[in-house]
Structure 1
Amino acid sequence: MRLLHTSDWHLGQHFMHKSREAEHQAFLEWLLTTIDEQKIDILIVAGDIFDTGTPPSYARKLYNNFMVGIQSTQCQQVVIVGGNHDSVAVLHESRSILSCLNVTVIGAISDSLDQQVLTAKDSEGKPAAIICAIPYIRPRDVLASQACQTQTEKQQNLEQAIADHYQQAFKVAQKKADEYSLGKPLPIVMTGHLASVGCKSSESVRDIYIGSLTAFSADHFPPADYIALGHLHSSQQVSDLDYIRYSGSPIPLSFDELNDVKQVLCVELSVNCPRAIESIEIPRFQPMATIKGNLVSIEGQLNELELPKPGKTTWLEIVVEEDDYLTDLQSRIQAIIADKPFEILKVKRNRSQQQAIELAAKETLTELSPLEVFQRRLAQESLEDAIKDQLIHHFNCIVSELNEIDTEAPELKSIKSSKVKSIENDQANNKEMSSLQDAPLK
């Protein structure tokens, strides 16, 4: 059986006010062709199908058209699992219809593990593999809230609960595999949408703050034949284990992903043979580039930059390494590319520590992330480092909660908003926070 692993499509994403619709359309067309040429039997999409919980209509159309298009290939089954960006309600709204097209959608974990453990069949209709379809696991799915727990205890409990779910699903899969055994148990494939310890992340990845769990240890994964993961946008192995893989996103979702080779993973599974994994490179559908240096160097690099194909525009990130603070920086760079099919989406400055101190007062909010703004304000307070670290962690948790509101069904948003307000009130009453209340805000 030939399996294709992809993830993190993020349909509907707007990249610095730029739509990715054309790129996603081109990718999905390429993917259908690849599935046909590679004679793929089963497709796994390991989460983050959409970029937000309320994807635009064109994103849903791309998704639905793809599911119709795959019917013209020999692909026998499609397995879709939800990610942290996906709304369970949105994914499940078309689940019944898609099931008629041999598309199984698992937006959230189920009370019955049998619903998450699927039997994949070959072209002759015979069982060929067992698939444990495990989506992004939210804390409320596996844990009940407990009072007076430390952050460490919350992390340990949550990690163990997620590990238990994987182990329990694997046991159910083993039982099914044994039932279909032809002298040797069928191969078992698992999915997941989470961050693993020691793996490479990128600017576009929205950190998953599940309780205080930021990464999952590879030791907790069961010994499946292949584990198809999503969430991290760079294709990579987990802990140098070739059977635990992130396929990565199909298009660069941030400028720091430009050096990554975007790919899908083709996995050959057989009862009598070891697995074989092949990466298939995805073409770049939108020209993008990062240019670094001082103004003289940047001008030279822009003049040497390869022009895009007719009708295309290259999106640019400009990183300026300049001693002086230039108030007209944007206009200077725009003048350099005035007659070229280039478009600047992002300009930032690289500064030495001394320059950062001297020029901090001249910074604009557009040059800083929300976390950097919070850190600058926090630096003005006379607090112990441990308390500052705790406040930064609380800040990240609140931002994550606010981000997750966007991925929930509309009827849950008011509940989530109340939860965030409760967190803020708890922090305001915290003894460590009292010193901040007395300090003047700037």
Structure 2
Amino acid sequence: MAAGALRVFVSHLAGMAVFDPNGDHVGRVRDVVVLMGGRRRLPGVLGLVVEVVSRRRVFLPMTRVTGVESGQVITTGVLNIRRFEQRPNEHLVLGELLDRRISLLETGEPVTVLDVGMHRLPARRDWELDRLFVRKARTGGGLRARRGETLTVDWDAVTGFALEEREQGTANLLATFEQLRPADMANVLHHLSEKRRAEVAAALHDDRLADVLEELPDDDQVEILGKLHDERAAVVLEAMDPDDAADLLGELPEDEKDRLLDLMQPQEAAPVRRLLTYEEGTAGSLMTTEPIVLRPDASVAEALARVRNEDLPAPLAAQIYVCRPPEETPTGKYLGVVHFQRMLREPPFELVGGLVDTDLRPLPPSASLPALTSYMAAYNIVSAPVVDEDRHLLGAVTVDDVLDHLLPDDWRESADVGGLPGLAHEEAVNGG
């Protein structure tokens, strides 16, 4: 290998940017693939799992890696974008080895794997796993219990990796990926084994799990929800956006759906029940029931304060809806919409009632998906109001929900970006 570190701990590789020789960004490291067993004394590193721009995971052989240095991985520039498929006897270091409980060979003392070190063989491009950073079991009991000692040991000083572990911890895996956006964390979760996926989901905080579930394919959502206790499943559904919770519940058998709805808090379940009454693929079924709603006597300063909420999705922050009380959906009479850019041009004391755009006609909840897409394209908007026949605002349809239903079911795993074949390949090789 031409340049780079002689040894690196795998947790430091997680999320590391991958570049070709020209300095173009290729993707990010998501895991390390190793081969355990066989004639070699130490597990050999076969390559890296790299998530390219299209979120597809591909395999980068270590023979194509020319350097690991300065917080980046350098490749030869040759990248096969075929989707990574794990083979028998191959193991993922981050996904499978972190948090494993093994034993020190000399004493038999149990330890937990916190990190794994790999080193490059001299004058070669081959890498091997050779070190483990582990923690011993807690000492003492009750209030005097102390965290166990941490130490670095050689790979061949431990035993137990060959044994199947029924309940594997998740703390170090989650710490490695804690900074990921929900969509990226969902991609990590999707590529874990079913057993490991359930363990990680069980360990995630309710709000974090809700955010991640919203980004997962339907099958993964149903699988994970089905492995949670009913009470926790109901709490996670409450933390999800009502439209996403309704979509997920719509995939379940009727008896299971009704049981979970009954376990949810009534005020949280009400909008979800309402969304479930609309026909699939209509504005009513796609809308969120929690847009920004203000009375006409609210000021621009108050409106902008609501828009600044960092937890608010960007499409919902693009405009506010002005309605008579009550402000919870279904609202009082819908008066119109005020666009974010218009508010930026007005003094803070101006009332939103005087800024309403009345030319943007609202949609009925029965509006079809083609009608929605035409509407958003015609008016160049990212969020559309949905009202009933009595002019009560029911919710708003955002462009991300429309795209979710326009794209193929497997779009999260597709190599095509924006439906343009070949674009992902070009971006993967040239860094976008």
TM-score, with length taken from structure 1: 0.26
TM-score, with length taken from structure 2: 0.27
Name which one, 1 or 2, has greater alpha-carbon Rg.
2
